[in-house]
Chain A
């Protein structure tokens, strides 16, 4: 069971759209629609932003969306805002009753 692969960092300007990738294998991301995304601001607990690939919990901005193609899941943030600057983590069911997280991506709003 290996961690999912995310870019260490991404950046964008306010108003832009930005996508964070999460690459796994055919044993995890590729086989199950159980990918979730979390936003974590410094010193805070993670916050669920997307679950089951593309579902948004109540209260999460429509600017956040999720998708999946093959072994790669993606989180897209449209209309980037300063408050979106945070760390983002993906997570997937990995079979055999286990979950695996990605290494995390630091999003910087320029």
Chain B
């Protein structure tokens, strides 16, 4: 049964780069059927789509974050990663990784989420 697990620092300083990794277990990250994505949720607020990536490396980003975001994939490690540059307090959120059933379709499997706080 496929599972996703986020990992990374829980505290990042303003203006620095947030880096998170999602590890895929119990299945293949190289399946041609799926994309892999990041979604975040500020405390007490709703979900925000960050972006998705295919195992080949092709990706799509939220236009509002595109200038600061990079999503990459390492198939040998069965991981995909999120980097968000120049963070501010507004980037404080619970960050989820998830599997997308198709490009820009629903997310059917989610990680448990990891909280990232931006503070000095």
Contact = CB atoms under 8 A, between A and B. Distances in A.
Interface stretch (A10-18, A70-78, A98-106): A98-106
B98 to A, nearest CB: 8
B67 to A, nearest CB: 14
Main secondary structure of the interface of B (DSSP, over half): loop
A34 B96 contact: no
Interface string B96-109: 10000101111110
Contacts, number: 63
Interface string B63-103: 11000000000000000000000000000000010000101
B48 interface: yes
Contact of A101 (B48, B108, B113): B48
B15 interface: no
A103 B112 CA distance: 20
A64 B25 CA distance: 29
Interface of A: 1, 3, 34, 36, 38, 45-48, 51-52, 57, 89, 91, 93, 96-104
